[in-house]
């Protein structure tokens, strides 16, 4: 089959295109700005790329099916041709993944507001370690796997992030509805994606729909400490298990401790200790991500009544050395670590994620002054919905620097996040904060502090789901030069 992807250079689209190519299909695609690194990955796999969305180029390639990306909208010439002629079948990417990549394979679907990418990566890593040869599709760059996509053995489990965002301009269902979960992980549930969901009940409704497609012989693993998840339907049609710090959870995280040497915790299955973990990944949030991944990996080949499960469930996993796990790129990724200055990049763009990251950093670097740089960039972060919560989270830092509001002109002023008000909020909590008209101004402020030797014994962390307009890379380069570091 010849499959053409419109918007192929997106991470999920590109990774899916590679997997389809590995299945033996002929694959090509178009995008506005065919750019590396994804363009290099696609070209190396023998996937033909077209710059722009010219109708003729798609037709001359003669596809049997077209995949329309989530970022593609009406007005795209190739899309308009598909709609006008109906001569070529077209699908959304999630529908393609469900039909052609997952099919009847047992799937682990990782859903929730935070931690999807990390938990997906950890689950795929565990299944690989125990010889399962899983397939997986990860919306980031895993550091413990060869890449973000793998077809694996077609009879082995398939692991995928269950994103709640909509599937395409013509399919407003959440992506995860297409993914056929045998084991469903629910990490957490908070309001997000304010551009497509009205409020928390609206997004909760989509999660309740997801629960309904887990089969009777499957499993739902929910965060038993999250009140919003506990408020969802009980899903009596399948096996419902809980993971968390509370003792009433089926898999309980106990004795969590974190310092400069890493973090440690124990796992108890219904009162009996089954594993002791010592590793380098930060925070209680990652301890929960790993716990979910461990339980999902143990359950994916199981069927039947959850009440019959014993501690034997974990026998094949106890020998795995998690101390070597590094997680996913841009999750508290250390870009520079010197005796004087440490610089990190973190993808966090929600108040809860930022708070968890800062709590972890304060435990890991107790002797360092902590500067948190925040770029309001996501569709929710640029609004004032979470303004006070963002400010409250950032007040955990010794100094908060708030960058430019991304595409501020697109948001009405009365709905837009207000960095000046956030500075006032943090100041009232006896914290220190500054706001900047542009990210470049924020970067210049840091560079001036660096050149004046005012960043000694300091940790600088950048929070953004984007590039921070190149400020992160520039500051790392300047710091290396200033500190005379070769790498």
Least confident piece of the model among 37-46, 50-59, 122-131, 366-375: 37-46
Q: Which residue reads 């009980």 in tokens?
A: 234
Residue 266, classed as helix, strand or coil, is: strand
Q: Is the pLDDT of residue 429 over 50?
A: yes
Q: What is the pLDDT of residue 379?
A: 87
Least confident piece of the model among 32-46, 193-207, 277-291: 32-46
- Domain boundaries, given as residue ranges, for the chain: 2-88, 96-324, 333-482
**Residue 107: beta bridge partners?**
158, 181
Q: Averaged over 80-106, what is the pLDDT?
A: 97
Least confident piece of the model among 244-248, 423-427, 467-471, 481-485: 481-485
Q: What is the pLDDT of residue 105?
A: 96
Longest dimension (CA), the chain: 65
Q: What is the pLDDT of residue 329?
A: 82
Least confident piece of the model among 146-150, 273-277, 357-361, 414-418: 146-150
- Copy the structure tokens of residue 296: 């999902």
CATH architecture of the domain 2-88 equals: 3-Layer(aba) Sandwich (3.40)
- Cα distances from 377 to residues 14, 163, 351, 381, in angstroms, run 23, 18, 13, 6
CA gap 27, 22 in Å, rounded: 10
Q: What is the pLDDT of residue 486?
A: 46
Q: Averaged over 391-402, what is the pLDDT?
A: 97
Q: How many helices (H) and strands (E) does the chain have?
A: 14, 23
Least confident piece of the model among 197-201, 210-214, 287-291: 197-201
Q: Phi, psi at residue 90, to the nearest 5°? A: -135, 150
> Domain spanning 333-482 has what CATH number?
3.90.190.20
Query: What CATH class does 96-324 carry?
Result: alpha beta
Q: Is the pLDDT of residue 359 over 90?
A: yes
Whether residue 296 contacts residue 109, with contact meaning beta carbons closer than 8 Å, is answered with no
CA gap 423, 421 in Å, rounded: 5
Q: Averaged over 324-348, what is the pLDDT?
A: 90
In this predicted model, which residue has the larger pLDDT, 485 or 484? Answer: 484
Tell me the average pLDDT of the chain: 93
Q: Quick one: pLDDT band at residue 371, thresholds 50, 70, 90?
A: very high
CA gap 196, 284 in Å, rounded: 30
In percent, how much of the chain has pLDDT > 90? Answer: 83
Residue 92, classed as helix, strand or coil, is: strand
CA gap 27, 128 in Å, rounded: 27
Least confident piece of the model among 38-47, 60-69, 260-269, 414-423: 38-47
pTM of the full predicted structure? 0.89
Q: Is the pLDDT of residue 231 over 90?
A: yes
Q: Is the pLDDT of residue 37 over 80?
A: no
Q: What is the pLDDT of residue 303?
A: 75
Least confident piece of the model among 31-35, 148-152, 157-161, 204-208: 31-35
- Copy the structure tokens of residue 210: 């997801």
Q: What is the pLDDT of residue 141?
A: 82
Q: Is the pLDDT of residue 307 over 90?
A: no
DSSP codes of every residue in 21-89:
HHTT-EEEEEESS--TTHHHHHHHTT-EEEES--HHHHHHH--SEEEE-TT--TT-HHHHHHHHH--S-
Q: What is the pLDDT of residue 485?
A: 65
Q: What is the pLDDT of residue 487?
A: 47
- Helices (DSSP H) in 212-365: which residue ranges? 227-230, 283-299, 351-364
């Amino acid at each position: 089959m010849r499959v053409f992807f419109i918007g192929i250079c997106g991470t999920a689209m590109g990774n899916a295109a590679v997997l389809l190519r590995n299945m033996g299909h002929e694959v090509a695609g178009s995008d506005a700005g065919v750019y590396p690194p994804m363009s290099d990955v696609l070209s190396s796999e023998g996937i033909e790329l077209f710059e722009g969305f010219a109708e003729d180029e798609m037709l001359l390639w003669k596809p049997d099916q077209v995949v329309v990306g989530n970022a593609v909208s009406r007005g795209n010439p190739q899309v308009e041709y598909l709609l006008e002629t109906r001569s070529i079948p077209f699908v959304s990417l999630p529908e393609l993944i469900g039909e052609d990549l997952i099919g009847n394979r047992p799937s682990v679907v990782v859903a929730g507001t935070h931690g999807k990418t990390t938990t997906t990566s950890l689950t795929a890593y565990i299944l690989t370690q125990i010889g399962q040869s899983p397939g997986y599709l990860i919306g980031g760059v895993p550091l413990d796997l060869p890449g973000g996509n793998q077809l694996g053995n077609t009879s082995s489990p398939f692991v995928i992030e269950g994103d709640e965002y909509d599937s395409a301009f013509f399919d407003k269902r959440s992506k995860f509805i297409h993914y056929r979960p045998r084991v469903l992980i629910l990490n957490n549930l908070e309001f997000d994606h304010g551009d497509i969901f009205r409020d928390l009940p609206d997004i909760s409704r989509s999660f309740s729909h997801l629960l309904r497609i887990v089969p009777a012989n499957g499993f739902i693993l929910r965060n038993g400490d999250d009140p919003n998840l506990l408020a969802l339907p009980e899903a009596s049609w399948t096996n419902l298990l809980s993971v968390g710090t509370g003792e009433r959870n089926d898999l309980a995280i106990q004795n969590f401790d974190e310092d400069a040497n890493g973090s440690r915790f124990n796992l108890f299955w219904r009162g009996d200790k089954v594993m002791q973990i010592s590793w380098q990944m930060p925070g209680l949030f990652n301890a929960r991500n790993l716990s979910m991944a461990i339980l999902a990996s143990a359950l994916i080949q199981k069927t039947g009544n959850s009440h019959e499960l014993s501690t034997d469930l974990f026998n094949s996993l106890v020998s795995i050395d998690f101390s070597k796990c590094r997680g996913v790129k841009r999750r508290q990724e250390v870009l520079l670590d010197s005796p004087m200055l440490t610089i990190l990049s973190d993808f966090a763009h929600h108040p809860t994620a930022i708070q968890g990251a800062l709590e972890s950093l304060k435990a890991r670097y107790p002797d360092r002054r902590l500067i948190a740089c925040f770029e309001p960039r996501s569709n929710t972060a640029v609004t004032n919905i979470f303004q006070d919560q963002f400010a409250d989270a950032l007040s955990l830092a010794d100094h908060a620097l708030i960058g430019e509001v991304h595409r501020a002109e697109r948001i009405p002023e009365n709905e837009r996040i207000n960095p000046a008000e956030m500075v006032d909020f943090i100041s009232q909590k006896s914290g220190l904060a500054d706001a900047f008209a542009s990210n470049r101004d924020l970067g210049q402020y840091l560079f001036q502090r660096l050149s004046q030797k005012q960043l000694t014994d300091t940790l600088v962390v950048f929070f953004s789901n984007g590039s921070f307009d190149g400020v992160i890379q520039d500051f790392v380069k300047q710091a290396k030069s200033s500190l005379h570091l070769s790498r």
